[in-house]
A = this chain, B = another copy of it.
């Protein structure tokens, strides 16, 4: 478990899967697969990646397998993000200054 949450989120398909589970609740694979333009085994593979990252969990109901969201590992992302928050707020604060990204002038060095 904990097979790199960042990598799991790198695919738009997998992010969409999480979103479907977020506002559709626990769902069988077939229902999830309907929403995509790809074959069901491919969706299964994506679900496996999410499961290895701890982002979803499955439960058996008869011959169906319901996948549900496990949002806890997303805390790792949020925690990683935290030290950057200050930084982007600074940038937004003084946008009265130069905004050209491509242009260069000497900024702070240390």
Are A109 and B66 interface neighbours, CB within 8 A?
Answer: yes
- Within 8 Å by CB of A91, from B6, B72, B78, B104, lies B72
Closest to A98 in B: B72
Q: Are the CB atoms of B88 and A84 closer together than 8 Å?
A: no
User: 8 Å CB contacts to B: which residues of A22-64?
Assistant: 22, 24-26, 57-61
CB-CB nearest in chain B for A74:
B84
Contact, CB under 8 Å: B72 / A92: yes
Which one of A2, A4, A60, A87 has the highest number of Cβ atoms from chain B below 10 Å of its Cβ?
A: A87
Most buried by B among A26, A59, A66, A101: A101
The distance in angstroms between the C-alpha atoms of A78 and B84, with both chains bound, is 11
**Known contacts A6-B9, A15-B80, A72-B101: does B109 contact A26 (CB below 8 Å)?**
yes
In the A-B complex, the 4 residue pairs with the closest CB atoms: A59-B104, A10-B10, A71-B88, A71-B87
Q: Footprint of B on A, CB under 8 Å?
A: 2, 4, 6-7, 9-10, 12, 15, 18, 22, 24-26, 57-61, 66, 68-81, 83-85, 87-88, 91-92, 101-102, 104-110
